[in-house]
Amino acid sequence: MSLEVKVYQKENRLRFATLLRESLSDIFKSRFLSTQLAVRDIKAQYRQSYFGILWAFAPPLMTALVWILLNKSGAVTLTNTGMPYPVYAFTGTLIWSIIVESINNPINSTNGARSILTKINFPKEALIISGLFKLLFNSGIKLILLLFFVLAYGVGLQWSLLWFPFAILGAVLVGTTIGLFITPFGLLYKDVGKFISFGLRFLMYATPVVYVVPKEGLLKSIMLGNPLTPIILIARNTVTGSAPEFLGYFLIIIACCIPLLFVGLVFYRVSIPVIVERFSA
């Protein structure tokens, strides 16, 4: 048995490929840790309540409900969406919340482990993965709600619905990639997190989450350019079974995100010691 050798020095001029390989192998090796952390947080979240897991259904239901009411009462007139509005609004908010949670996941998970980060050396990637597990768990619950909406409003189950998980994965991929790049800065300065949450609130209205892309005008160009638009639209297409117009753009986004995700992982890995130093200084 030869002992593993670790070297810590200032000029860790490690090659990108080495760092990426280490990062990926840590993700694989720490799978028990990431599941354990996710299970811990989910259990703890619901143990001290009577309704338990039911609370997970509340936030997406609320958002959808608000828009359904606004639409019904005529307070906000929206162009025809081509499908029952509740289904439209619900798929939109569902995917949107997944994107938002994925963006916030790396920073929140890392922040939540501050006290351990300064004391114990463990694969930090596990924090991100455990955050993803929690996110997928919540998404699973939302998916059950979605099926309910689809059946209740007579859209019916389409074969294309089988692609829906892939749309979710796309959303997670894009969100996580963005999140990974923001995280190191967000851990240093609280401003970053605040800025992101404000920014996303505006961005939601520049994405066809609760209303369709307008026929013309500035908002149309913004919406069509917005890289999050194809993700929302493709997800919705899989629900209704309509032709995926934005498939090309969607695939381009995904193709760009995969290498960027790797860069993000390496950046995260390299940044953690620098951040931990500032935590404890």
Partner 1 sequence: MNQNKNITTTDDVLVKVEGLSKKFCKDLKTGLWYGLKDLVSRNPGAKDSGNLRPKEFWAVKDVSFELRRGECLGLIGHNGAGKSTLLKILNGLINPDGGKVTIRGRVGALIELGAGFNPILTGRENVYNNGAILGFSRKEIDAKLEEIIAFAELEEFIDMPVQHYSSGMKVRLGFAVAAQMEPDVLLIDEVLAVGDLGFVLKCFKAIDTILPRTAIVFVSHNMPMVSRICNQVVLLDHGKVEYQGKNVGEGIDLYYKRFAQNESKVLFDDGTIEIKNIQLISSIKTNDGLPILNWNDEFKLKFKILTYENIDMPKFLITLFDKEQRSVAVLKSNEINSPIEFKKDRIEFILSHKNLQLTKGIYSINVLVSNMETGVPLLRVHDILSFQLVDKEDYWPPFLLDATYSEI
Q: Which stretch binds partner 1 (CB under 8 A): 60-68, 172-180, 181-189, 238-246?
A: 181-189
Distances (CA, A) of 38 to 1, 113, 197, 274: 33, 13, 23, 26
**Closest distance of CB 182 from partner 1, Å:** 12
Give 252's contacts (C-beta < 8 A, 6+ positions apart): none
**Closest distance of CB 118 from partner 1, Å:** 6
- Among residues 60, 179, 184, 264, which is the contact residue for partner 1, using CB under 8 A? 184
Helix, strand or coil for residue 217? coil
- Among residues 57, 153, 166, 185, which is the contact residue for partner 1, using CB under 8 A? 185
H helices of 153-217, where? Answer: 164-188, 190-204
Q: Which stretch binds partner 1 (CB under 8 A): 68-76, 210-218, 220-228, 268-276?
A: 268-276
Q: Which stretch binds partner 1 (CB under 8 A): 100-108, 111-119, 193-201, 214-222?
A: 111-119
- Among residues 58, 162, 258, 274, which is the contact residue for partner 1, using CB under 8 A? 274
Note every long-range contact of 258-261, with CB atoms under 8 Å and residues 24 or more positions apart, other chains counting: 258/173, 260/177, 261/173, 261/176, 261/177, 261/180
How far from chain centre, in Å, is Cα 166?
13
DSSP secondary structure code for residue 45 in this structure: H
**Closest distance of CB 23 from partner 1, Å:** 15
106 binds partner 1 (CB under 8 A): no
- Among residues 89, 117, 135, 228, which is the contact residue for partner 1, using CB under 8 A? 117
Residue 14 or 251: which CB sits closer to partner 1? 14
Q: Which stretch binds partner 1 (CB under 8 A): 42-50, 75-83, 159-167, 246-254?
A: 42-50
Residue 119 or 215: which CB sits closer to partner 1? 119
Distance CA 27, CA 169 (A): 18
What is the token pair recorded at 276?
Answer: 């931990």
7 binds partner 1 (CB under 8 A): yes
Nearest to 268 by CA among 120, 119, 129, 133: 129
6 binds partner 1 (CB under 8 A): yes
What is the token pair recorded at 131?
Answer: 């955050």
Q: Which stretch binds partner 1 (CB under 8 A): 38-46, 55-63, 81-89, 221-229?
A: 38-46
What's the sign of the alpha-carbon dihedral 277, 19, 136, 87? positive
Give 92's contacts (C-beta < 8 A, 6+ positions apart): 208, 209, 210, 232, 236
Residue 12 or 79: which CB sits closer to partner 1? 12
CB 271 within 8 A of CB 186: no
Name the residue with tokens 């994925």: 102
Residues that bind partner 1 (rule: CB under 8 A) add up to a total of: 43
* Residues of this chain that bind partner 1 (CB under 8 A): 1, 3-13, 32-33, 36-37, 40-41, 43-44, 47-48, 115-122, 184-185, 188-189, 271, 273-278, 280-281
